[in-house]
Amino acid sequence: MAKKCSENPQLDMTPMIDVVFELIIFFVVTLKMAVEKDETVQLEDGKHGIELTAEELPPSHLVIDIAKSGRISMCNFTITPNEIRQRVRDRKRKFGSEFPVLIRADYRTQHRYVKEVMDACTVEGVWKLSFVAVYDRKSGKQLTK
Amino acid sequence: MARRKYENPQLDMTPMIDVVFELIIFFVVTIKQEDLFSKLNANRPAPNDQQTQQDVVDTTIKIQIGPGGMVYNGRGVTVKELDRNIKQAAAIDKKTTVLLQCTLNSPHKFLVDALDTCAKYGLKNLSIFSM
């Protein structure tokens, strides 16, 4: 046979599969790192609370972050108490009043900012609030002053 | 040209080793120990709901949280002393209402500490007030 390419007409798939796996792994790893919370928030220990598992976090749950500076955010977007009220109202319309509201407040933040968030929830008729704390410091990260 | 596998009947280990290394690297990168979180439940009465506060004030535990520390039923306490006091109170009645009064400039840390201590001894009626 004259032409070289017709000697071995089968396409070797191995490098392509390698690259595809590499890409899949890359995206799996990077997508998990997408920031959905305020990473600066440091939480106080709460070893006796209810452990937060997947069942404790139904799709209806709401997480509100409060940074040390008093910045209030959801999914790492800064929001105002009025916007919290709006979100809570939307949730209430969709899921009824029984949905978990989790407040991730930095251990150094002042109560006035926590109050703003709590008031925004109670005005909309949500009385049951939960504060997120650290159950077990598995990552070994400690609180900084 | 005959096919390669008839020429060299030995199994080529190279791709397998590649994949195994890939998996090792994958797990090394992804297995990052994450902190486990817990939630501490509490009730927040409506703002200016003074009525409730007045009604229950005699039959409850009152923990005041200020910028410097905590006050348990009018007595300044450390976290350890609070733990002991709440243990005693919980031994009598787990349904006791605990009023947590926080001043605006108190750090959130104390509130979480107090809620955690209450959760430790099974007190569930926790109300947070702001002053």
Give the count of Cβ contacts less than 8 A between chain A and B. 162
Q: What are phi and psi of A88, to 5 degrees?
A: -60, -40
Nearest residue on chain B to A128, judged by CA atoms? B43
Which residues 120-139 of A have a C-beta within 8 angstroms of B? 121-123, 127-139
pLDDT in the model for residue A6: 53
| A88 Cβ contact partners less than 8 Å away, ≥ 6 residues apart | A62, A101, A120, A121, A124, A126
What is the average pLDDT across A15-25? Answer: 86
Chain B residue numbers with beta carbons less than 8 Å from the beta carbon of A32 are: 30
Domains belonging to chain B, first-starting first, are 58-130 (3.30.420.270)
Mean pLDDT calculated for residue range A102-124: 89
Q: Is the pLDDT of residue A126 over 80?
A: yes
Q: Say which residues have a Cβ less than 8 Å from residue A2's Cβ, sequence separation at least 6.
A: none
Q: Which residue in chain B has the smallest CA separation from A141?
A: B35
Q: Measured between CA atoms, how close is A42 to chain B, in angstroms?
A: 10
For the segment A93-118, the average pLDDT, to the nearest whole number, is 88
What's the sign of the alpha-carbon dihedral A65, A66, A67, A68? negative
Between B106 and B131, name the one with better pLDDT.
Answer: B106
Q: What tokens appear for B84 in the block? A: 């002991």
Are B36 and A134 an interchain contact pair (Cβ–Cβ within 8 Å)? yes
Q: What percentage of chain A reaches a pLDDT higher than 90?
A: 8
Which amino acid does the sequence have at A26? Answer: F
By C-alpha distance, the chain A residue nearest B114 is A46
Nearest CA among A51, A109, A115, A139 for reference residue B39: A51
Q: Strands A72-74, A128-136: parallel, antiparallel or unpaired by DSSP? A: unpaired
Q: What is the pLDDT of residues B44-93, one digit of tens each?
A: 876 655 545 555 555 678 888 888 888 888 888 888 888 888 888 888 88
Rounded Cα distance between B2 and A67, Å, is 69
Confidence class of residue B2 from pLDDT cuts 50, 70 and 90? very low
A37 contacts A65 by C-beta, under 8 angstroms:
yes
Residue whose token pair is 């060299």: B8
The DSSP code for B13 is -
What is the three-state SS of chain A? CCCCCCCCCCCCCHHHHHHHHHHHHHHHHHHHCCCCCCCCCCCCECCCCEECCHHHCCCCCEEEEECCCCCEEECCEECCHHHHHHHHHHHHHHHCCCCCEEEEECCCCEHHHHHHHHHHHHHCCCCEEEEEEEEECCCCCCCCC
Beta bridge partners of B98: B61, B126
pLDDT confidence of residue A8: 63
pTM of this structure: 0.75
The residue of chain B with its CA nearest to that of A15 is: B15
Structure confidence at residue A66 (pLDDT): 92
Residue B19 has pLDDT above 60, yes or no: yes
Q: Report yes or no: B38 and A51 within 8 Å, Cβ to Cβ.
A: yes
Q: Determine the pLDDT at residue A48.
A: 87
- Phi and psi of A117, rounded to 5°? -65, -45
Closest to B108 (Cβ–Cβ): which among A109, A135, A138?
A109
More confident residue, A5 or A35: A35
List CB contacts (< 8 A) between A8 and chain B: 1
Contact status of A141 with chain B (Cβ, < 8 Å)? yes
Q: What angle do CA A102, A108, A114 make, to 5 degrees?
A: 40
Residue B120 is nearest to which of A28, A48, A109, comparing CB atoms?
A48
Interface test with B, best of A104, A111, A137 (most B CBs within 10 A): A111
Average pLDDT, chain A: 83
Token output for B59: 């039959």
Higher-pLDDT residue of A32 and B131 is B131
Min distance A123 CA to chain B CA atoms (Å): 7
Say if the Cβ atoms of B128 and A56 lie within 8 Å.
Answer: no
C-beta atoms of A134 and B32 within 8 A: no
Beta strands in B12-125 (DSSP E): 36-43, 61-65, 70-72, 75-77, 98-102
| Residue A1: predicted pLDDT | 46
Per-residue model confidence (pLDDT) at position B8? 60
